[in-house]
Chains A and B, each alone.
Chain A
Amino acid sequence: MPFVELDDVGREFVDGDRKIAALSNVSLSFERSEFAAIIGPSGAGKSTLLSILGALIHPTTGKVKVDGMELTEMDAESLANFRREYVGFVFQSFNLLPYLTALENVMLPLAIAKGNGVRRKALAEKALESVGMIDKAKRLPGALSAGEQQRVAIARAIVNNPPIVLADEPTGNLDSVNALSVIALLSKLAGDNRLVIIVTHNEQITSLTTRTIALDDGKVTLDHNKLSYLYR
């Protein structure tokens, strides 16, 4: 059984009297250690697919299974628990809380987890260390460069060791050097037995991922798994 499985997933949004199909008949499956890029033009449904994978919204049709759990049958509370335990998010605009230090931002997901303060701090420091930001742990986001902020955001995404990391345009606000560094970091996360899926406009990045999924008008137009070619 695949780790993540989307079966004939569709999603509609209502805009006044109109219904807009953001996704139609999407069937995909993912395994751990995959590093997948979802590409496509604006409005292709990339972010909608990421939101469904991250349990932020339910699909209108179809089913989503993660680690054997049917997400479409979960209520809001169970979905929140799922997000806390299974998913780490990385955003284009980093979305760090400006009034918390880098360390405190990384500790945020642990604020609602079990465990004492010392352990939480140790975990957050470990995550910051893994992204090379431990020396700037006490800085506020405003005092960090864009690349550094994104590294802190990645540390926050992995601090509670989730099996899935979803990144929405993680390099969108970065220069090419920092972008490359962030992609390398995400690739490393996939190597740690995680499923890492990124949404990007930058087709060059696909050369660094193990799988490329192209979406257009809510439909999958390409699903290219380099590893499967390799295995073949």
Chain B
Amino acid sequence: MTINNLVFCNLKRRKGRFIFLALGLSVGIATFTLVITVSRAVGQSLQDMLDRYGPNIIITPKSESYSIAYEGINLSSIAMTHSKLTIGDLEKLKDIKNAKNIAITAPKLVRMVELNGYDTRVVGVDFVKELEMKKWWGPLIEADGGREHQYGKHFRRTDDDSLLISKTEDSAIVGYAVAEKLSLKPETILKVHGKEFTVNTILAPTGTEDDQSVFIPLRQAQKIFGVGEELSLVEVSALCKGCPIEDIVTQINSALPNGRASALMSVVSQRLEFLGKFQKFATGIALVALVIGALLVFITVMGSVTERVREIGILRCIGFKQMQISQIIIKETLTVSIAGGIFGYLVGNLASIIVVPRLIGSADASIQISLATLAISLFVAVLVGVLGAFYPSLRAGRLEPLEALRAI
């Protein structure tokens, strides 16, 4: 008979109570594991999504100065230097150190032309990349005599729709304000520099300069403006995770001596702030679950100590020290905590496997099951157990033998 035997015998005797405690703790640990796993997976997914949601780096020709504005970047209509950015330059981006962080590159050629008597911005774009980057783009939908009328194709519906637009070399997508000003509708023929384009879609208002733009295929734009492979700018959507955006900008600037890359820092910081808030929220939920777990341990162990005054009294009478009594209580709780921790970890991971793909909407959501996570879960379970059992064990140890003797 040792203290460990005593602990084991007591666990065996009160197995109902301890199984309940282990289950309660496992709920806390499962919640902790689930929240941490989900927050990690969702955070990663959100980051990837946010990084793909619009550009966070703009590349312009190095010394070119334009007076035309697009997306807050001033572009000149007069070429000041011979430094040019071309389609071929985009290939160089594949060789930079953090090439894998570059999710989308959307090249553009921007020109001001007169359309139906109005100076209008015409933007040559790669439709597939543009639609991939600007996920908020959609056709204008207006009420028309009690019915909704959609102005053009809803090209976001399937990938095939996007490809259809890009493959149509004489299609144009028209910003909401331009369409209104020039009275354009789907299927209207629009003449740009003598070349006819069919209006494919009127864009719903975006609140950006896209509302005042006409988008035509990049190749056609380069051809009708006679600029060869020249580009006005390239919008880049880079994945920030694991690589500071400044590093990518530096790498792009080194790779493109004729270009000047600059980060849209406000966009980056907004995204990081959003991710930070999400992580804090997830951590908050995990902490609440753990505090509830600790309270559960506290209440259960406190109840157990009160129930065992008689037993503690006997042990104190036969010479058990305060510390040895506390040791029995703590060892019992630790055993239950470890069991609850392992079970909670397994349940938490199982729940993650079910929950994460539904939250992210992707079956290939990455859920990392590792020994390190198991170790963290066990550590947290033990910590919760010790915190919850600390005061009751202290109280049990401090129980005066005579006080216990009176209870006998």
Q: Which residues of B contact A87 (CB under 8 A)?
A: 319
A residues 154-197 touching B (CB-CB < 8 Å): 156
Given B3, B9, B13, B402, which contacts A57 in the complex, CB threshold below 8 Å? B402
B7, chain A: closest CB distance, angstroms: 11
* Of A30-38, A63-71, A89-97, A126-134, the one touching chain B: A89-97
Stretch at the interface among B190-198, B307-315, B376-384: B307-315
In the complex, the answer to whether B322 meets A51 with C-beta atoms within 8 Å is no
| Cβ A93 vs Cβ B2 within 8 A | no
User: How far apart are B304's CB and chain A's nearest CB, in angstroms?
Assistant: 13
Instruction: Given A104-B1, A117-B2, decide whether A109 and B318 contact each other with a Cβ distance below 8 A.
Output: yes
Whether the Cβ atoms of B324 and A112 lie closer than 8 Å is: yes
0 or 1 for each of B1-33: is its CB under 8 Å from A? (1 = yes): 111011001101100000000000000000000
Assess whether B318 is in contact with A104, with CB atoms less than 8 Å apart: no
Q: Which of A77-85, A144-152, A200-208, A221-229 contacts B (4 or more CB under 8 A)?
A: A77-85
A6 lies within 8 A of chain B by Cβ: no
**Pair B408/A76 contact, Cβ less than 8 Å:** no
Interface residue B316 (Cβ < 8 Å from any Cβ of A): yes
- Contacting residue for A56 out of B5, B10, B402, CB 8 A: B402
Residue contact A112 to B320, C-beta cutoff 8 Å: yes
In whole angstroms, what is the CA distance A45 to B95 when docked?
A: 94
B402 and A91 contact, CB distance less than 8 A: no
Residues in B whose Cβ lies below 8 Å from that of A99: 9-10, 12-13
- Cβ of A110 within 8 Å of any chain B Cβ, yes or no, is yes
Residue-wise, chain A 40-82 has the 8 Å CB interface mask toward B (1 for contact) of: 0000000000010010110000000000000000001100110
- Interface pair A56/B1, CB less than 8 Å apart: no
List of A residues within 8 angstroms of B13 by Cβ: 98-99
A85 to B318, CA, bound (A): 9
Expressed in whole angstroms, the minimum distance between the Cβ of B127 and any Cβ of chain A is: 77
Please, what's the 1-or-0 string for B303-344, where 1 marks a CB less than 8 Å from any CB in chain A?
000000011011111111110100000000000000000000
The answer to whether A80 touches B6 (Cβ under 8 A) is no
- Contacts A54-B317, A80-B316, A85-B319 known; A112 to B9 CB distance under 8 Å? no
With A and B bound together, what is the CA distance between A84 and B316 in angstroms?
9
A156 touches B10 (CB 8 A): no
Could you give, for residues 208-227 of chain B, a 1 whenever the CB lies within 8 Å of some chain A CB and a 0 otherwise? 00000000000000000000
Q: Is A28 an interface residue (CB 8 A)?
A: no
Is A108 an interface residue when CB atoms closer than 8 A count as contact?
yes
Residues A76 and B5 in contact in the complex (CB < 8 Å), given A56-B405, A93-B408, A95-B310: no
Partner of B318, one of A76, A84, A120: A84
Contact status A80-B402, CB under 8 Å: no
User: A90–B99 Cα gap in the complex (Å)?
Assistant: 81
Q: Are A51 and B314 in contact (CB under 8 A)?
A: no
Known A56-B401, A56-B405; judge A97-B322 contact (CB<8 A).
no
Number of A residues, CB within 8 Å of B = 32
CA distance A89 to B314 in the complex (A): 9
* Complex: A83 Cα to B319 Cα, angstroms: 5
Q: Does A107 contact B (CB under 8 A)?
A: yes
Given known A51-B402, A97-B311, contact A89–B317 (CB-CB < 8 A): yes
Complex contact B9–A95 (CB within 8 A): no
A122 to chain B, nearest CB (A): 13
Q: A95-B408, A99-B10, A99-B13 are in contact. Are A120 and B1 (CB under 8 A)?
A: yes
Q: Which residue of A lies closest to B310 (CB)?
A: A95
Complex contacts, A54 vs chain B, CB 8 Å: 317
Q: Contact at A51–B12, with CB atoms within 8 Å?
A: no
Interface centre among A56, A81, A117, A156 (most CB of B within 10 A): A56
Q: Find out whether the CB atom of A89 lies under 8 angstroms from the CB atom of B311.
A: no
Give A contacts to B, CB under 8 Å.
51, 54, 56-57, 76-77, 80-81, 83-85, 87-89, 91, 93, 95, 97-100, 104, 107-112, 117, 120, 124, 156
Query: A-contacting residues of B (Cβ < 8 Å)?
Result: 1-3, 5-6, 9-10, 12-13, 310-311, 313-322, 324, 400-402, 405, 408
The list of the 5 closest CB pairs from A to B, nearest first, reads A84-B319, A107-B1, A99-B13, A56-B401, A80-B321
Instruction: Identify 19 new A-B residue pairs, CB closer than 8 A, beyond the known A88-B318, A95-B313, A109-B319.
Output: A56-B402, A56-B405, A57-B400, A57-B401, A76-B321, A80-B320, A80-B321, A83-B319, A91-B408, A95-B310, A95-B314, A99-B13, A104-B9, A111-B1, A111-B3, A111-B5, A111-B6, A112-B3, A124-B1
